[in-house]
Amino acid sequence: MHLKFLISFKIKALNQSQIFEKLRLKGVEVYDVKLLSRFDTTFSARRQDKKIVEEVLASFQAETLSLKPQNLSKIKFFLCNKIGIVVGLLMAFALQITSSFFVLQVSVNGASCAGEIREFIENRGIKAFCPKTNINTSNLELDIIENFPEISMASVIVKGLTVVVNVKEKESFEVLGQSDIIADFNGRIKEITTISGVANVKAGDIVRCGDILVSARNENAENGVVAKAKIVAEVWYETTNTHIETKTQRVRTGKIIEQRKVMAFGAEIFSSNKKIDFLDYEIEENTVKINSILPLEVEYCTYYETKSQTTTQRYEDVKEEIVANLKENTLQKIAKDDIILKENVLENFEAGVTTTTYVVVAEKHIF
């Protein structure tokens, strides 16, 4: 059932059947038609149709004796026929009041000993129906850290009906030695002198980001040494842009249609759906909670009319701007101590698509 907001009309007119036929042809729905006398009649219509009804009545020279909203009767009808929802709303209100003063559960996250921590907290009296005023979150955080040596951090908050405890366990490490020297660049090794560890590359080798240049071990494959080396590399930095000369895209025309639904416990109690007569459109949906006490929310669905639009932009007209942006982005990747050797712009043209790559070659020293 849709909860409609109606207006009740009481009229005096001849040819009443013609009036209602004219309203029907104009798409106006009428409700609760009652013939009071030969000339007097009452009926209801939707609030948004009020202007159309008045125009039709005026065209038949009908006299409007009274005009009043009929919302209360509809709401009364809704309450009588949706008793389950009404009871649910009252229960939600009671639950909201309860959640303002008490907690119902404890949730512990982030540790393998979550069960033990939960039991520890509940033994301190923090459990179902514990008053929120009895919970000191700061003291509880300190107590958890002091009583659980494996915990390095604890955070306690009260969220709704739940005491939420987030903890972090201490990390343990098995130290086998220093880490390898790993390339953080794409390039070519120009010189490499190993001080300790085992070199995996030599001068002239092409390397990629993530390659191990020097391993933290000795010639006998034993770990525990410190990987050190002096390395000079030719490093390549690049940024790429793809330009399509002719593009077809959907653009909004500015026309919109909005639909709304009022929901409670997943049930629709009111809607203002309108016919969508757009051929092409985009949809945006949004849900807004009416308040924090009752589980009422409004679902908005907005339809934006769209059309296809083709645009053409020659690469030569924007080449200078593209290259400038590529250069700026590429230079930002270069390390502070790198020495720039040369810069180059590479272009590839194919079927209306131009791929532009800005390349910077630099020299990097690693010690």
Among 128-142, 241-255, 286-300, 308-322, name the one with the lowest average pLDDT: 286-300
pLDDT of residue 84: 52
Nearest to 192 by CA among 214, 216, 219: 214
Residue 110, Ramachandran bin (φ over 0: left; ψ between -120 and 50: alpha; else beta): left
Write the pLDDT tens digit of every residue in 311-353: 899 999 999 999 999 999 999 989 888 999 999 999 999 888 9
- pLDDT mean across residues, the chain: 83
What mean pLDDT do residues 31-54 have? 89
pLDDT of residue 110: 83
Task: Count other Cβ atoms within 10 Å, centred on residue 247.
Answer: 12
Write the pLDDT tens digit of every residue in 127-147: 888 888 888 988 888 899 889
pLDDT of residue 239: 94
This prediction has a pTM of 0.43
Decide if pLDDT at 362 tops 80: yes
Share of the chain above pLDDT 70, in %: 85
CB distance 299 to 260 below 8 Å = yes
User: 43 vs 367, which has greater pLDDT?
Assistant: 43
User: What gap in Å lies between CA 84 and CA 92, rounded to an integer?
Assistant: 12
What mean pLDDT do residues 134-161 have? 87
pLDDT of residue 292: 58
Decide if pLDDT at 174 tops 50: no
Decide if pLDDT at 85 tops 60: no
HEC sequence for the chain: CCCCCEEEEEEECCCHHHHHHHHHHCCCCEEEEEECCCCEEEEEEEHHHHHHHHHHHHHCCCEEEEEEECHHHHHHHHHHHCHHHHHHHHHHHHHHHHHHHEECEEEEECCCCHHHHHHHHHHCCCCCCEEHHHCCHHHHHHHHHHHCCCEEEEEEEEECCEEEEEEEECCCCCCCCCCCEECCCCEEEEEEEEEECEECCCCCCEECCCCEEEECECCCCCECCCCEEEEEEEEEEEEEEEEECEEEEEEEEEEEEEEEEEEECCEEEEECCCCCCCCCEEEEEEEEECCCCCCEEEEEEEEEEEEEEEEECCHHHHHHHHHHHHHHHHHCCCCCCCEEEEEEEEEEEECCEEEEEEEEEEEEEEC
pLDDT of residue 132: 85
User: What gap in Å lies between CA 154 and CA 144, rounded to an integer?
Assistant: 7
What mean pLDDT do residues 153-170 have? 86
User: What gap in Å lies between CA 338 and CA 332, rounded to an integer?
Assistant: 12
Q: Which residues contact 67 (CB under 8 A, 6 or more apart)?
A: 7, 8, 9, 10
Share of the chain above pLDDT 90, in %: 32
pLDDT of residue 176: 37
pLDDT of residue 192: 94
